[in-house]
């Protein structure tokens, strides 16, 4: 965003507060995103192998909420409420988690290239999830995979953070290289788990790794919900302090931010959100990278807008991507993770080129 904007309309030197116009852009954008979500949800619920008209979808929702409406025939009700809605809710939760985690991570690292997938946190969480599946651990019921993913994801964020920082800042090269190292190591550990797993577990893991929502059920939604809801609720409270952190750690402290505590809380939140996403749907990369970037370009880098809006746009993007993944090659399904990576990687290329150009090289 180095485009030079027009200078302020002849600002006078007496102390008149300059006009503020950013908030209107961000408010419009937030409203737009919310409306788009409200439209896309019934549309996505209607599309599929057994089409349900949007009007019927709305009627059924109304009926379930006890606000009038009509009950549909048994097949339609079952398709909607046992297949499509759990999948849609899961897509929304995971998309929101990934978008929000990306925005937070970029803020904490002070680096626009940070993303759970790129720097290896997703694969770290995946190690826990795969371990739980492969070893057949389930002493925590449906939450087992999520909890394992959270613990290993948290350990990975802490590791990456400690390894890629020096002198209070994170250099792009160090961050990306740390990500490569972490991804390689996690890949090896996952391979090891696969080697020792039985055939059924291998099949489950392979499918899960590609990133798909096709196995969505209400219990899975419940497994993700606590992590995602907690993370999404806490994240916006730290938006203002993330703005100040952009000045650097010491200046943020000079402005009254308890930087140590801020960092610990946010790393926990990032691990929660990443674990929520990874534990059900494998590694869905680049959503956390692309979403905050687009929003920053549209309405500036203020985190009070960026954090909630990233959750909204993330949810929207993932819902749309999931809709595409199950309709493009119908009746077959493209794995969602493959689709987001196909679309996201070129964006990452472009971002790398731009960042490099701007700072005139890496070294």
Partner 1 sequence: MRLLRPHPAPPPAANPGDTLAEAQDLHVHLGPRPVLHGVSVPVRAGEVLALVGPNGAGKSTLLSALAADLPAAEGVVRIHGRPATDWSAGELALRRAVLPQSATLSFPFPVEDVVRMGRAPHASSPAEDDLAVAEAMAATEVTDFAVRPFSALSGGERARVALARVLAQRAPLLLLDEPTAALDLRHQELVLRLCRERARAGDAVVVVLHDLGLAAAYAHRVAILRAGRVAADGPPAEVFTERLLSEVYDQPVEVLPHPRTGDLLVAPRRNLLTFL
195: number of Cβ within 10 Å: 9
Please report whether residue 99 would count as binding partner 1 according to CB under 8 A.
no
Q: For partner 1, what does the binding mask look like between residues 155 and 184, x meaning CB under 8 A?
A: --------------x---------------
C-beta closer to partner 1: residue 257 or 315: 257
Least Å distance, CB 176 to partner 1, is 16
Contact flag: residue 110 with partner 1 (CB under 8 A):
yes
How far CA 46 is from CA of 73, 84, 214, in Å, comes to 14, 8, 16
CB-neighbour burial class of residue 326 (10 A; exposed 0-12, middle 13-18, buried 19+): buried
**Is there binding between residue 357 and partner 1 (CB under 8 A)?**
no
Q: Diameter of the chain by CA atoms?
A: 76
Reading the block at residue 50, the tokens are 């057994």
Q: Quick one: tokens of 5?
A: 């904007």
**328 vs 61: CA distance, rounded Å:** 26
- The binder of partner 1 chosen from 24, 184, 258, 264 (CB under 8 A): 258
- What is the β-pairing status of strands 169-170 and 165-166? antiparallel
Position among 34, 43, 184, 255 found at the interface with partner 1 (CB under 8 A): 255
CB of 168 to partner 1, least distance (A): 10
The DSSP symbol for 238 reads G
Report the alpha-carbon distance of residue 298 to residue 108 in Å, rounded. 21
Residue with Cβ nearer partner 1 (15 or 65): 15
65 binds partner 1 (CB under 8 A): no
* Residue 112 touching partner 1 (CB under 8 A): yes
For position 239 contacting partner 1 by CB under 8 A, the verdict is yes
- Name the site residues for partner 1 (rule: CB under 8 A): 1-8, 11, 13-18, 20-22, 110-112, 169, 237, 239-241, 243-248, 250-251, 253-259, 296, 300-302
């Amino acid at each position: 965003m180095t485009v030079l904007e027009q200078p302020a309309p002849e600002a006078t030197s007496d102390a008149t507060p300059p006009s503020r116009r950013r908030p209107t852009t961000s408010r419009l954008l937030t409203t737009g995103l919310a409306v788009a979500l409200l439209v896309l949800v019934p549309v996505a619920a209607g599309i599929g192998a057994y089409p349900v008209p949007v009007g019927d979808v709305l009627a059924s929702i109304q009926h379930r909420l006890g606000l009038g409406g009509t009950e549909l025939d048994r097949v339609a009700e079952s398709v909607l409420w046992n297949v499509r809605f759990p999948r849609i809710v899961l897509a929304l939760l995971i998309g929101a988690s990934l978008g929000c985690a990306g925005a937070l991570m970029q803020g904490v690292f002070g680096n626009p290239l940070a993303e759970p997938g790129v720097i290896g946190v997703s694969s770290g969480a995946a190690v826990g999830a795969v371990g739980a599946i492969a070893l057949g651990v389930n002493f925590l019921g449906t939450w087992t995979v999520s909890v394992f993913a959270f613990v290993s994801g948290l350990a990975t964020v802490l590791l990456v953070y400690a390894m890629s920082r020096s002198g209070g800042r994170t250099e792009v090269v160090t961050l990306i290289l740390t990500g490569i190292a972490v991804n390689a190591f996690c890949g090896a550990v996952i391979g090891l788990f696969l080697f020792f797993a039985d055939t059924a577990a291998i099949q489950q893991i392979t499918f899960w790794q590609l990133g798909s929502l096709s196995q969505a059920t209400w219990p899975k939604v419940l497994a993700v919900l606590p992590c995602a809801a907690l993370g999404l609720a806490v994240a916006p409270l730290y938006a203002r302090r993330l703005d100040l952190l952009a000045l650097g750690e010491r200046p943020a402290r000079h402005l009254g931010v308890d930087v140590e505590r801020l960092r610990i809380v946010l790393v926990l939140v990032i691990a929660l959100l990443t674990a929520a996403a990874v534990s059900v749907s494998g590694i869905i990369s680049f959503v956390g990278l692309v979403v905050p970037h687009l929003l920053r370009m549209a309405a500036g880098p203020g985190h009070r807008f960026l954090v909630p809006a990233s959750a909204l746009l993330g949810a929207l993007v993932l819902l749309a991507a999931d809709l595409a993944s199950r309709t493009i090659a119908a009746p077959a399904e493209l794995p969602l993770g493959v689709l987001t990576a196909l679309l996201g990687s070129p964006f990452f290329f472009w971002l790398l080129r731009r960042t490099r150009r701007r700072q005139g090289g890496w070294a």
